[in-house]
Structure 1
Amino acid sequence: MTPLADAIYNVKEKFLRYVQIDTQSDPNSTSNPSTEKQKDLSRLLVEELLAMGVTDAHLDEWGYVYATIPGNSSKNVPVICFCSHVDTSPDCSGAGVKPMITEYWDGTDIVLPDDPMQIIRMAEHPDLKQQIGNDIITASGTTLLGADNKAGVAEIMAAAEYLIQHPEIIHGTIKILFTPDEEVGRGTEKVDLQKLSADYAYTMDGETVGTLEDETFSADGVSLLINGVSTHPGFAKGKLENAMKIAADILAALPKDTLSPETTEDYEGFIHPTQISGIQEQVKLDFIIRDFSVAGLHEKEAYLQNIVNQTLKHYPNSSVDFKVIEQYRNMKEVLVNHPKVVEYALEAIRCSGMKPEQRSIRGGTDGSRLSFMGLPCPNIFAGEHAFHSKLEWVSVQDMEKATEVIINLVKIWEQKS
């Protein structure tokens, strides 16, 4: 199998259209999806799928898009799902995105015109070294781009269109799933796996071209509810135990040179405070805990609990409710039992003219949860870079390669069945 000779897809046009729709999710919302505007893109995707001839494409009440491309093989081929999320990060504005294309990029700095202080430099983005001569898409400098994960959405849509237009490509049944709220940790909360009815899945939500991620962090959240002792400050001697000061002491006791996102890399985990709110009587302090093993998570949670216990020795009449919330687990624990899911994806990358590279993610994807829900789901590159920032970028050529990988992957599943 060789790279497709006519692999010029409509992925660029789709991507440019999708990123202009604001789909930012909201971590403080309790609704499903967390923001109704995510459905604006989802409704468009359904319209486009129906126009292609995908007759069962639909949007459910929770903001999930489901669709099926029927198989045309006489073999009993496993049902494969391709998944991406429509929401963009709450960390940076996604409203009014103005995508810009630097064609045939020559390696010079890319200055974003709406804020010239925002500059994409090769020295700060090593993956740009392999993009000389490619077409780089960025935002204009005041918003994120939304390549995370609209690059993946566009690639799946382009692959679907290509397969429908080329019935000579033999494949099994293909499922498409677009999820909301991945960026706020709720991307699979309302997914209906029985309706999806897939055997294996792939998220298109990775970074560098040619990479496949089959290992993620395991993740927990820890919420501390600090109950101090409140009294009138004029009569507080020997009585007041300020919950805000207790929280400050807990934070100050965290190590300065280890166990934090800013001091760790590779397989090192961390303890990371994410939110604090309250008054002198009561403070809520939230953390995320990350490690590649569950044992590592438990060690870090015990470490944090010990800090809390030592801090409370100075505040004898106060208390802390220490609550651990399981978030997701390392997909490797599931994927190791389904080696062909990874092997076939690596082969598809090779067939698309690239040298594949297996990586671990210092983070998670919808695939982490889907894997533990019974749907083994590694993560394939989508070409997105510098996500959650105004410096986000993606190349047209990388998105085309990702689209080609999808097409080659469904062919491989059929051939090996």
Structure 2
Amino acid sequence: KHLPDLKGRTLITSDGTTILGADDKAGIAEIITMIQCLKEENISHGPLSVAFTPDEEIGTGASHFNVEEFGADYGYTLDGDTEGEIQFENFNACKADFEIEGVNVHPGSSKDTLVNASLVAMEINSMLPSGDTPRDTEGYEGFYHLVNMSGEVGHAELHYIVRDHDAATFEVRQQTLRHIEKLINEKWGKGTVKLTITQQYRNMSEIIAECMHLIENAKKACENAGVTPLVEAIRGGTDGSQLSFKGLPCPNLGTGGHGYHGPYEHITAEGMDAAAKVALELVKIYADKVKA
């Protein structure tokens, strides 16, 4: 639905058999372009620290990031979508894995004995709210997302990711999963199902709320670059979340990309140029603050 807004631009896509990888290649290219402009145009600036993190897409990119060695008071990640995006609210996130052990006996003599692990897995999924899926939610609404499943009679597995912006509701979602585990084991026998919940990242808004100048300066940088600022919540996560909780408040900026994580991913050269210019304007804003 946004494609008409890109009319006249240089559209960059993959050949359709794989992802483009603009998330996060675009952010890297834009940061490097910003540094190149600083050097070539001899633009004055304060102390700058730059780093590229691996494994951002699985929520562990900043796990081993040394904030003290990085040596900055504040930061920004370039990991968003449309140029001009400014994000400081993200999902609370965990993954939830169900392992189901069935009782596999000959079907001809299985009355009151056989427990089909695959059918139990289907029962577990049916106990979740049917409307709480990514397809059916938007804005600040959270979800359960079944990302992978496998099974046969004797053993089955369900792998979910769970997301919610609100911390209290996020906890309720986890309690719902634990309650399902309890009910299934009461019905089919102790040890039928084992639930493992692994925390991934938290909503950084509680950290950024104490330093909203980061958002105001980002909005000003967008305006200086001729880009409309768009402050909105992320329906996902970013390394800025982990970094914020590690002591480096770090909101997220748009890169100009769209349709991430799939074969329809695309970006425009003009969008990338605009995102790099926003980053450059941010550096200028903070340079003026250092001088002051």
| TM-score over 0.5 for the pair | yes
The one of 306, 327, 334 aligned to 2:179: 306
2:224 aligned with 1:351: yes
2:234 aligned with 1:367: no
Structure 1 equivalent of residue 193 of structure 2 = 320
The one of 213, 221, 226 aligned to 1:340: 213
2:22 aligned with 1:147: yes
2:252 aligned with 1:379: yes
Give the alignment's TM-score, normalised by structure 1. 0.66
Structure 2 equivalent of residue 215 of structure 1 = 89
AA aligned opposite 2:20: L
| More helix as a share of residues | 2
Give, in angstroms, the shift of residue 166 of structure 1: 2.3
2:291 aligned with 1:397: no
CA-to-aligned-CA distance 1:302-359 (integer Å, 9 cap, x gap): 2223333333443135432222211101111110011112111111111111221201
Structure 1 equivalent of residue 123 of structure 2 = 249
Structure 2 equivalent of residue 283 of structure 1 = 156
- Matches of 2:194 and 2:75, distance apart in 1: 39
AA aligned opposite 1:200: Y
Give, in angstroms, the shift of residue 160 of structure 1: 0.8
AA aligned opposite 1:221: K
The one of 134, 144, 150 aligned to 1:261: 134
- Matches of 1:280 and 1:337, distance apart in 2: 53
Structure 2 equivalent of residue 189 of structure 1 = 63
- On the 8 A contact 1:206/1:383 being kept in 2, the answer is yes
- Matches of 2:279 and 2:270, distance apart in 1: 15
Percent of residue pairs identical: 39
- On the 8 A contact 1:228/1:317 being kept in 2, the answer is no
AA aligned opposite 1:306: H
Give, in angstroms, the shift of residue 409 of structure 1: 0.5
- Matches of 1:336 and 1:207, distance apart in 2: 22
- On the 8 A contact 1:228/1:318 being kept in 2, the answer is no
- On the 8 A contact 1:241/1:317 being kept in 2, the answer is no
Structure 2 equivalent of residue 388 of structure 1 = 261
2:9 aligned with 1:131: no
- Matches of 2:7 and 2:148, distance apart in 1: 41
Structure 2 equivalent of residue 35 of structure 1 = none
By relative contact order (CA 8 Å, sep 6+), the higher-ranking structure is 2
- On the 8 A contact 1:241/1:315 being kept in 2, the answer is yes
Question: What is the RMSD computed on CA atoms of the aligned residues?
Answer: 1.9
Paired residue secondary structure (2:261): coil
CA-to-aligned-CA distance 1:100-156 (integer Å, 9 cap, x gap): xxxxxxxxxxxxxxxxxxxxxxxxx32x33322222222223222221111111100
AA aligned opposite 1:148: D
Q: How many residues align?
A: 290
The answer for unaligned runs of 5 or more in structure 1 is 1-124
- Matches of 2:189 and 2:259, distance apart in 1: 46
Structure 2 equivalent of residue 173 of structure 1 = 47
AA aligned opposite 1:209: E
CA-to-aligned-CA distance 1:36-85 (integer Å, 9 cap, x gap): xxxxxxxxxxxxxxxxxxxxxxxxxxxxxxxxxxxxxxxxxxxxxxxxxx
With over 3 angstroms needed to count, the CA separation of the structure-2 counterparts of 1:295 and 1:347, relative to structure 1, is same
The one of 34, 39, 58 aligned to 1:159: 34
Structure 1 equivalent of residue 280 of structure 2 = 407
2:99 aligned with 1:225: yes
Structure 2 equivalent of residue 240 of structure 1 = 114
